[in-house]
Amino acid sequence: MSCPPGTPATLALERLCWGDGILHPVTLRLGAGRVLAVLGANGAGKSTLLRLIYRYNHPQAGRVLVDGDDIHRLPARRVAQRIAAVLQEQPTDLALTVAEIVALGRAPHRRGFAGPSARDLHLVDHALERLLLQDFAHRAFGTLSGGERQRVMVARALAQEPGLIVLDEPTNHLDIRHQLEVLRLVRDLGVTVVASLHDLNLVHGFADDVLVLAEGHPLAFGPVDAVLTPDLIARAFGVVATRRGTARFDFSLPDSVQKEHIA
């Protein structure tokens, strides 16, 4: 795990399980730079799986290998240098500014009690800029809207320079424009990504691969088009899926998106 910061990581899950039948063994391999969407109905086990990958929970059995190393046997700091997590719920009572939250992403890379380096400051500014948050830099985090807070947490993950970024429902709270923006940004980072998503229509154009869970069991894993069939969707979600309905819209960003229009 001694790769330069930001180098895309490989991920392997080996018969990974948790809880008393909450997550049944999951085995998969994800190449460096691949984007994986984790799908499934409410309670299917998506967040449970992600918590094991970003080392919040310890597996009941099985292993999570990042760059070939079992992350549950490594020091937390080394793992934090390679894996960033963007979670569904963010605390709103933090008495920190947006810039201070984003700067927390640099903590795993700092030595001892040293203050931020010029590079740390540059990376924080860069992350604020990428998420169009410059105007919010000195605002208290708790005063932001849900969508603005979500973008701050993505900026913090970006400043962390991870090789693997894990996102639990990253489009939660975001309007359609910001959903597309955040997914495109995450995809364009060039690192390995694991993200749980609820909107199946957002998977195309974002993910390379999907893992579908149902009641804690892995139903299917593989490239998006091969896996996301109407039959599979019916089994995972209990709905009838048709490829196109008359009431369906396809959304994409205009070619000429100007950054100043996004914030």
Ligand X SMILES: Nc1ncnc2c1ncn2[C@@H]1O[C@H](COP(=O)(O)OP(=O)(O)OP(=O)(O)O)[C@@H](O)[C@H]1O
How far is Cα 151 from Cα 144, in angstroms, rounded to an integer? 10
Please state the closest distance from residue 89 (CB atom) to ligand X, in A.
11
Q: Using CB under 6 A, which of the segments 43-51, 152-160, 170-178, 246-254 binds ligand X? A: 43-51
**Strand-strand pairing, 83-86 and 192-196:** unpaired
Phi and psi, residue 56, nearest 5°? -85, -45
Nearer to ligand X, 18 or 141 (CB): 18
Please state the closest distance from residue 48 (CB atom) to ligand X, in A.
3
**Strand-strand pairing, 164-168 and 83-86:** parallel
- Taking the CA atoms of the chain, what radius of gyration do you get in angstroms? 18
Nearer to ligand X, 50 or 124 (CB): 50
Q: Which of 9, 17, 26, 40 binds ligand X (CB under 6 A)?
A: 40
Q: Which of 15, 21, 27, 43 binds ligand X (CB under 6 A)?
A: 43
Nearer to ligand X, 14 or 215 (CB): 215
Q: Which of 9, 34, 48, 211 binds ligand X (CB under 6 A)?
A: 48
Side-chain-side CA neighbours of residue 252 (13 Å): 7
Nearer to ligand X, 51 or 178 (CB): 51
- Provide the mask over 2-31, with x wherever binding to ligand X is found by CB under 6 A and - wherever it is not: --------------------x---------
Nearer to ligand X, 47 or 97 (CB): 47
Comparing CA positions, the residue from 187, 236, 199 lying closest to residue 40 is 236
How far is Cα 136 from Cα 203, in angstroms, rounded to an integer? 29
Please state the closest distance from residue 72 (CB atom) to ligand X, in A.
17
Runs of H (alpha helix) within 39-117: 46-53, 76-82, 98-104
Please state the closest distance from residue 93 (CB atom) to ligand X, in A.
23
Query: Residue 244 gets which letter from DSSP?
Result: -
Please state the closest distance from residue 43 (CB atom) to ligand X, in A.
4
Q: Which of 1, 25, 32, 47 binds ligand X (CB under 6 A)?
A: 47
Nearer to ligand X, 97 or 172 (CB): 172
Measure the N-to-C terminal CA separation of the chain; round to a whole number of Å.
36
Inter-CA distances, 4 with 59, 111, 222, Å: 27, 16, 28
If binding is defined by CB under 6 A, does position 45 make contact with ligand X? Answer: yes
How far is Cα 134 from Cα 119, in angstroms, rounded to an integer? 18
Contact indicator for 124, 44 with CB cutoff of 8 Å: no
Q: Tell me which residues in 113-152 interact with ligand X (CB under 6 A).
A: none
Nearer to ligand X, 38 or 189 (CB): 38
Binding site for ligand X (CB under 6 A): 22, 40, 42-48
